[in-house]
Structure 1
Amino acid sequence: MYTPPAFRDDDPESLRATMRAARLANLVTATADGPLVTPLPLFLDESEGEHGVIYGHLAKANPQWRVPPVGEGLAIFMGPDAYVTPAWYATKEETGKVVPTWNYVTVHAHGPIEFFHDADRLLDAVTRLTNLHEGPRAKPWAVSEAPAEFIAAQLRGIVGLRMPISRLEGKRKLSQNRNATDRAGVAAGLATSERASDREVAPLIPS
């Protein structure tokens, strides 16, 4: 990932926070026939390995797990993002030398990929992923609420994914390359946007 120094995020906790907050990631594997990509809900087990281990699952009908990967896999976790109009820059009125851009937060996790079929491991991964997303609900649903034979049948239709993280790349492109006045204009513009995603980016702009 191309990351100018001003946008690089090397803070481990910041990287993990972005990964935890992302509700959907993209799993990318290079193959002899070209890249394969699948959008997946993934979760990070921070207790395993130096950088943690990523878990998830794919449909058994998905060919991605059958094609031998070339090198390591890549999981892309996207954080908040927003379009930035030049109209928010004070520099626009001063010189007119401005162009649009896009602000965003992302983490790229690299590592060797293991696909597994063991029913117990699959049940554990599915249960942990379900608990992660059901936890905040007022009345969380649990995998154990469904009939055991139904869950067993569902597990036969998926393949587990385990990816120990070998390397993390983080990028927070949040107008750090603009002057303080321009950054203030971006933050104010995003904060008053009708788009909820824009308002999510506003407080991330450095003052």
Structure 2
Amino acid sequence: MYVAPRHQPQNQELLAELIHTNPLAAIVIHDGRGLDANHIPLLFDEDAGLLCGHVSVANELASLNKEVDTLALFQGPQSYISPSWCPSKLTNPEIVPTWNYAVVHVHGRLRVVHDEDWLFEHLEAMTLRQETSVGLSWKVSDAPPTYLNRMLKGIAGIEIRIERMTGKWKTTLMRPEENVAGVCAALRASGTDDASEMAELIHAWSTTNKANE
């Protein structure tokens, strides 16, 4: 992925935060017949350097019998940016539309896991993470044991050992500062979650870059 220096996050914490907030990844592999992609929510274990998820055993991904190279794509907030939101357009027409977004690409080695103990621990960790994020407390153990055992036989684990991570915060730095304020105000007024998150990202990115000037 091409990343201009001005769009490169300065610390890994930003990348981790985007993954935790947007865990649904597009996992891409080359399986011999060509490129194949699956959309799978992943749990990021920062200490172990792992991304973990699971798929149905009916998914062809579950039949892999060796490690393969993979690319996991995480999409953060994204939004169209209109020149009309920039006050300086009144005196300087050299402003064009753009599309802002934040993404993380994770390269690594993927293996399939069929061990039931691994799967159970993974489901507990994944459930705890997501239930906590919505303020609830459902646990895997709340499901009837016979039903849970039946469900475990229908899934396979996915474990990606991370080799490198790349982030891209394509948040156009609009000068003068009144343009930043204008764009952020318009995004917040749109009322969508993506636009509001992008407004916060632009504001934070602009503040950080201003401090580093």
Does the pair score TM above 0.5? yes
Determine the C-alpha separation between the residues in 2 that align with 1:33 and 1:70.
16
Contact 1:108 1:169 in 2 (8 A): yes
1:177 deviates by: 6.0
Matched, 1:186 2:183: yes
Contact 1:10 1:169 in 2 (8 A): no
SS in 1 for 2:190: coil
- Unpaired segments of 5 or more residues in structure 2? 208-213
SS in 1 for 2:96: coil
Aligned to 2:39: 39
Deviations 1:35-79 (A, max 9, x none): 11111110111121xxx1100001111113335789621111111
1:31 deviates by: 2.7
Aligned to 1:95: 92
Among 136, 141, 144, the residue aligned to 1:144: 141
SS in 1 for 2:149: helix
Matched, 1:196 2:193: yes
Determine the C-alpha separation between the residues in 2 that align with 1:159 and 1:178.
50
Determine the C-alpha separation between the residues in 2 that align with 1:70 and 1:179.
50
Aligned to 1:174: 171
Among 151, 155, 162, the residue aligned to 1:154: 151
One-letter code aligned to 1:108 = H
Matched, 1:135 2:132: yes
Deviations 1:71-126 (A, max 9, x none): 62111111111111111123432232232211111111110001010111111111
Aligned to 2:28: 28
Change beyond 3 A, Cα 1:167–1:198: same
Matched, 1:106 2:103: yes
One-letter code aligned to 2:37 = V
Contact 1:31 1:69 in 2 (8 A): no
SS in 2 for 1:140: coil
- Unpaired segments of 5 or more residues in structure 1? none
Percent identity over the alignment is 33
Matched, 1:72 2:69: yes
Alignment: residue pair count: 204
Contact 1:109 1:168 in 2 (8 A): yes
Change beyond 3 A, Cα 1:177–1:109: farther
The two structures have a TM-score, normalised by structure 1, of 0.90
Contact 1:7 1:176 in 2 (8 A): no
Contact 2:111 2:160 in 1 (8 A): yes
Q: Which has the higher helix share?
A: 2
One-letter code aligned to 2:23 = R
1:138 deviates by: 4.6
The two structures have a TM-score, normalised by structure 2, of 0.87
